[in-house]
Amino acid sequence: MEEVIKIEGGHKLKGTVRISGSKNATVALIPAAILANGPVTVCDVPSISDVDSLSVLLRDLGVIVDIRSSDCIVIDPTKMKNKPLVHEAVNKLRASYYFMGALLGKYGHCEILMPGGCYLGPRPIDLHLKGFEALGATIRYEHGCYILDAPELVGTKIYLDIASVGATINIMMAAVHAKGRTTIENAAKEPEIIDVATLLNKMGAKIRGAGTDVITIEGVAKDVLYGCFHEIIPDRIEAATYMVIGAAAGEDMVIENIIPQHMESLLSKLTEMGVELDVKVDSVHIKGKKEKLKPVDIKTLPYPGFATDIQQPLTALLTQAYGQSIVTETIYTERFKHCYELNKMGANTHVMTPSAMINGPTPLSGAEVSATDLRCGACLVIAALIADGVTTIRNIYHIERGYAHIDEKLKALGAKMWRETI
Ligand code: EPU
């Protein structure tokens, strides 16, 4: 038995949608909170299953997780105990690897199963481990578990071969208590990294340069990190998804609680395609599209380049452009499973790794498709909203990992969708 999402396409969406807090910031902020010596209150927490999985792991460590309201949680690590994280929840998401940096920083020891997450091709964590080793940790891999040990962490200069989001955040957390100064060169610059550094600094850490490619962390004593309050930044990928929905299926849609500066690359591509939009300080009004959408070429790159996470949702819109669009993926070269699913709905896409050719416009029709990963799920929701007839989306647990209240938000805009158990 499996719960599926069914969407009847062809209904024009109209109205306002509020974007939730950033998933990729949240999944790092929650492990980061255990570095504090008092309760950390985090607000605008998205209601997604990744947060549930992390809460399970926190409780496993003896951390009190108190849900104060629909989007506010208090994480109190005062009585936590370090123990091996071998709970099955570790496998449910990639971000469980942030417990490596946080536990190594706090206790000098961490034992954790191999983290899970969406399959997007190989996703090594060698840069995280090299960073921990450079700080003085020893690492063993035994019986499916990473065991990290460091009687003392000492600040050093770390150059990342690839500007990895996860490695940057993980090293930053491990280095918070390292002796002296740690410098991360070629650091990733994503807004989520700034959000994590902001939380750690509110606790009492000394991190400078987050958001640039050189981050410095002056180690502080363990007893100086206290509890604090933090509001998570809006989710730029969820916002992007609703912007594409507005362009594909909307008549007049306002997407609010966004930081437009985080979305420049998408805004310019939508404009290039002929989507009419009006950007305000913290919202964007998608007015609709000109008669014919133009094809565009996309190349995914680290921030501030075009985000790999948006490439999949945008592909659904590219099937409606007049001509050929080429999407080139430089971050996860195998991130094209959505193309095969779109073809089941009538799209004309050809994958030639690391690119996909999307030939449009093609009418889409309802079919049974599978959300092979989170953003593939988002892509299929968009395709289903414009398809003729009913689309059945399977493996929706992927969508629930990253999109808060997606049914409610879309239904409020006028979508016809429901869930069934098949
Ligand atoms: N890489 C390595 N070695 C490492 C780490 C990364 O070779 O040790 C490579 C990866 O294989 C990839 C590139 O470096 O080719 C960039 O990976 P990065 O580490 O930046 O990705 P991540 O931290 O694992 C986060 C997001 C992803 C998002 C990427 C890229 C989280 C929890 N995940 O992953 O989000 O695609 O950054 O921006 O923050 C999603 O939200 O759907 C998602 C997959």
**Phi and psi of 43, rounded to 5°?**
-115, 160
Residue of the CA atom closest to atom 29 of ligand 1: 165
Instruction: State how far the Cα of 363 lies from the Cα of 388, in Å rounded to an integer.
Output: 8
DSSP 226-264: ---EEEPPB-HHHHHHHHHHHHHHEEEEEEES--GGGGH
Instruction: State how far the Cα of 102 lies from the Cα of 131, in Å rounded to an integer.
Output: 13
At 80 the three-state DSSP class reads coil
Give the type of residue at 246. Answer: G
Ligand 1 contact, 168 CB (< 6 A): no
Ligand 1 centre distance from Cα of residue 403 (Å): 18
The beta-strand segments (E) located in 19-70 are: 40-43, 64-69
Ligand 1 centre distance from Cα of residue 323 (Å): 31
The beta-strand segments (E) located in 34-126 are: 40-43, 64-69, 72-76, 109-113
pLDDT of residue 13: 97
Q: Which residues contact 396 (CB under 8 A, 6 or more apart)?
A: 3, 4, 5, 371, 377, 419
- DSSP category for residue 125: -
Residue of the CA atom closest to atom 15 of ligand 1: 331
Ligand 1 centre distance from Cα of residue 170 (Å): 12
Ligand 1 contact, 311 CB (< 6 A): no
pLDDT of residue 121: 76
The two three-digit tokens of residue 153, written as one number:
């962490």
Instruction: State how far the Cα of 153 lies from the Cα of 137, in Å rounded to an integer.
Output: 7
- The pLDDT profile of the chain, 422 residues, written as one tens digit per residue, is 999 999 999 999 999 999 999 999 999 999 999 999 999 999 999 999 999 999 999 999 999 999 888 899 999 999 999 999 988 888 888 899 999 999 999 999 999 998 877 777 778 899 999 999 999 999 999 988 999 999 999 999 999 999 999 999 999 999 999 999 999 999 999 999 999 999 999 999 999 999 999 999 999 999 999 999 999 999 999 999 999 999 999 999 999 999 999 999 999 999 999 999 999 999 999 998 777 999 999 999 999 999 999 999 999 999 999 999 999 999 998 999 999 999 999 999 999 999 999 999 999 999 999 999 999 999 999 999 999 999 999 999 999 999 999 999 999 999 999 999 99
Strands 229-231 and 40-43: parallel
pLDDT of residue 91: 86
Give the type of residue at 65. Answer: V
Residue of the CA atom closest to atom 43 of ligand 1: 309
Instruction: State how far the Cα of 331 lies from the Cα of 308, in Å rounded to an integer.
Output: 7
Ligand 1 contact, 255 CB (< 6 A): no
Ligand 1 centre distance from Cα of residue 200 (Å): 21
Ligand 1 contact, 177 CB (< 6 A): no
In sequence order, what are the beta bridge partners of 234?
A: 21
Residue of the CA atom closest to atom 23 of ligand 1: 166
**Phi and psi of 258, rounded to 5°?**
-130, 160
Ligand 1 contact, 374 CB (< 6 A): yes
pLDDT of residue 115: 84
pTM given for the model: 0.97
Q: Which ligand 1 atom is nearest residue 95's CA?
A: 32
Q: Which of 165, 237, 241 is the best mutation target for the ligand 1 pocket, counting ligand atoms within 8 Å of the beta carbon and taking the most? A: 165
Q: Which ligand 1 atom is nearest residue 125's CA?
A: 8
Ligand 1 contact, 332 CB (< 6 A): yes
